[in-house]
């Protein structure tokens, strides 16, 4: 039953009949970037920053308030005057007022401008963090792409091996029909072909799964028979080691020579420092004076300061208000110290990040060197295996070796071919990972 199922899976037309597509790593990365951007995080952060700036700008606009009050007082001012024919005015115990007030910020020593700069710095920081997420997302897309490439290679090698066995089976069938062989040798080949069909079905299942994973990450509708092109990269062990950035004035040259400074994470560290600096500027301006202009138009009893007027009357008032904190209990000093400590934490985090990049880059370089040696050995091994397999094929035609011995040599050739192709793909992927680790996203 299992053999029948395997043969059924391998029948032509079993897989969906879709047009063959060609996909490159660059196209997959571009699609993955667009797929990630569909989440709209960058747009959301931009909208949040715009709202914060609008809110801060609204603080410079006139603030209009409507207020009212009704009061009854048990004691009111009285004039201690007693004169014949004269009655001193009385202050009404019940008082009423409805007023429309306006207040306008005239001077805040640049506090609002500093707060706007903090809002912009925070928005830029969040955008940079999204870039870090995109970088990580693209690394997942790269891994899925090369995973699909490896499965494609396995399918190609297995299919080639299967075709070779079928060719030998036809040759043995002809010899059996001539009476030169019994059926046992052909049975051994049939079993081997069935086992290959089973392995081929498993490999194609893994191939489809890898393509589906790539499709989820990129948002592309990738056909099961899609052709994935292996990217062309500089395969030398020294490739990518020149990716550095130049020093800025006053910066340690040894720091600028460290790998990984082109990574988006370093942009996050720089923007964290910038935001801390701007937050300190806001705190320092809290101690500067602010001047407001205000005015009020009201209707009530008594009208303003005329407490002896007992009729409801309109009145207005206008003036200036100064606010200047003369003692902040050391809050600005503590804010600066807090910013210094937070910046020290950012420096430590960046140093740890760069150190991890250095370690990862060193590991990938060692992997590249190992794969170069393996590929050199693969070429020699494959050459010997093919020579031995050809000799075994000739001996099989002459009937001097058994089918089992022939199959052993064929399996060894298949394994050598698969190892060589796998190592070459792993080498390409290692170079792509190396450039991504250093912050260079160019795949070709």
pLDDT for the residue 256: 47
Mean pLDDT of the chain: 81
pLDDT for the residue 269: 94
The most confident of 62-71, 254-263, 404-413, by mean pLDDT: 62-71
Q: Is the pLDDT of residue 134 over 90?
A: yes
pLDDT for the residue 225: 82
Q: What is the mean pLDDT of residues 184-204?
A: 82
Residue 347, token pair as written in the block: 């420096």
pLDDT for the residue 182: 59
Q: Report the percent of the chain where pLDDT is more than 70.
A: 85
The fourth-level CATH superfamily of domain 2-6+26-72+93-438 is Outer membrane efflux proteins (OEP) (1.20.1600.10)
307 vs 91, 235, 300, CA distance in Å? 6, 93, 11
Strand 313-323 vs strand 63-72: parallel, antiparallel, or unpaired? unpaired
189 vs 4, 53, 185, CA distance in Å? 17, 76, 7
Q: Is the pLDDT of residue 442 over 60?
A: no
Tens of pLDDT, residues 27-60: 999 999 999 988 888 888 888 888 888 888 887 8
Tens of pLDDT, residues 100-132: 999 988 888 888 888 899 999 999 999 999 999
- Closest Cα partner for 108 from 417, 324, 404, 399? 324
Q: Is the pLDDT of residue 303 over 90?
A: no
The predicted model scores a pTM of: 0.75
- Asked whether 371 and 430 are in contact (CB, 8 A), the reply is yes
Higher pLDDT, 291 or 225: 291
Per DSSP, which regions of 88-148 are E strands? Answer: 94-107
Residue 174, token pair as written in the block: 């002809």
- Closest Cα partner for 295 from 163, 124, 149, 100? 100
Q: CA 275, 277, 278, 282 torsion: positive or negative?
A: positive
CA 189 and chain centroid, separation: 51
CB hemisphere CA count around 253 (13 angstroms): 0
Residue 231 to residue 444: CA distance in whole angstroms: 6
Q: What is the mean pLDDT of residues 361-389?
A: 89
Q: What is the mean pLDDT of residues 199-216?
A: 89
Q: Where are the domains of the chain?
A: 2-6+26-72+93-438
Residue 318, token pair as written in the block: 């206008």
Whether the upstream peptide bond of residue 304 has omega within 30° of 0, thus cis, is no
Query: By mean pLDDT, which of 69-83, 140-154, 271-285 is the weakest?
Result: 69-83
Q: What φ, ψ does residue 442 adopt, rounded to 5°? A: -70, 125
Query: By mean pLDDT, which of 125-129, 173-177, 364-368 is the weakest?
Result: 173-177
Residue 100 to residue 103: CA distance in whole angstroms: 10
Helix (H) or strand (E) holding 336: helix 331-398
Query: By mean pLDDT, which of 161-175, 197-211, 289-303 is the weakest?
Result: 161-175
Q: What is the mean pLDDT of residues 233-256?
A: 48
């Amino acid at each position: 039953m299992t053999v029948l199922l395997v043969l059924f899976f391998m029948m032509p037309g079993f897989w969906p009949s879709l047009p063959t597509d060609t996909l490159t790593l660059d196209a997959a990365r571009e699609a993955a970037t667009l797929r990630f951007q569909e989440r709209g995080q960058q747009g959301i952060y931009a909208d949040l920053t715009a709202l914060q700036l609008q809110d801060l700008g609204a603080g410079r606009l006139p603030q209009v308030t409507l207020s009212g009050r009704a009061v009854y007082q048990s004691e009111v001012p009285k004039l201690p005057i007693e004169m014949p024919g004269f009655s001193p005015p009385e202050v009404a115990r019940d008082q009423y007022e409805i007023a429309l007030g306006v207040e306008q910020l005239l001077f805040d020593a640049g506090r609002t401008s500093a707060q706007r700069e903090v809002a912009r710095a925070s928005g830029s920081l969040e955008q940079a963090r999204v870039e870090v997420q995109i970088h990580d997302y693209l690394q997942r897309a790269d891994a899925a792409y090369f995973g699909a490439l490896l499965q494609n290679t396995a399918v190609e090698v297995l299919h080639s091996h299967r075709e070779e066995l079928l060719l030998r089976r036809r040759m043995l069938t002809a010899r059996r029909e001539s009476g030169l062989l019994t059926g046992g040798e052909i049975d051994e080949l049939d079993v081997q072909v069935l086992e290959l069909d089973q392995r081929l079905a498993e490999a194609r299942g893994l191939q489809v799964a890898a393509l589906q994973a790539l499709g989820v990450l990129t948002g592309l509708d990738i056909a099961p028979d899609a052709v994935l092109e292996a990217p062309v990269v500089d395969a030398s062990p020294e490739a990518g080691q020149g990716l550095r950035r130049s020093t800025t004035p006053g910066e340690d040259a040894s720091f600028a020579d460290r790998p990984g400074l082109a990574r988006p994470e370093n942009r996050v560290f720089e923007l964290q420092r910038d935001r801390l600096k701007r937050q300190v500027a806001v705190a320092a301006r809290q101690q500067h004076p602010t001047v407001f202009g205000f005015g009020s138009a009201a209707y009530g009893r008594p009208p303003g300061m005329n407490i002896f007027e007992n009729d409801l009357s309109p009145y207005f008032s206008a003036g200036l208000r100064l606010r200047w904190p003369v003692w902040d209990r050391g809050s600005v000093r503590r804010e600066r110290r807090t910013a210094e400590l937070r910046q020290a934490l950012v420096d430590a985090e960046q140093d740890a990040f760069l150190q991890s990049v250095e370690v990862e880059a060193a590991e990938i370089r060692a992997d590249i060197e190992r794969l170069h040696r393996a590929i050199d050995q693969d070429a020699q091994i494959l050459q010997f295996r093919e020579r031995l397999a050809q000799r075994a094929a000739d001996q099989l035609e002459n009937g001097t070796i058994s089918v089992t011995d022939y199959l052993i040599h064929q399996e060894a050739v298949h394994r050598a071919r698969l190892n060589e192709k796998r190592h070459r793909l792993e080498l390409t992927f290692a170079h792509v990972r190396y450039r991504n680790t250093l912050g260079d996203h160019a795949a070709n």
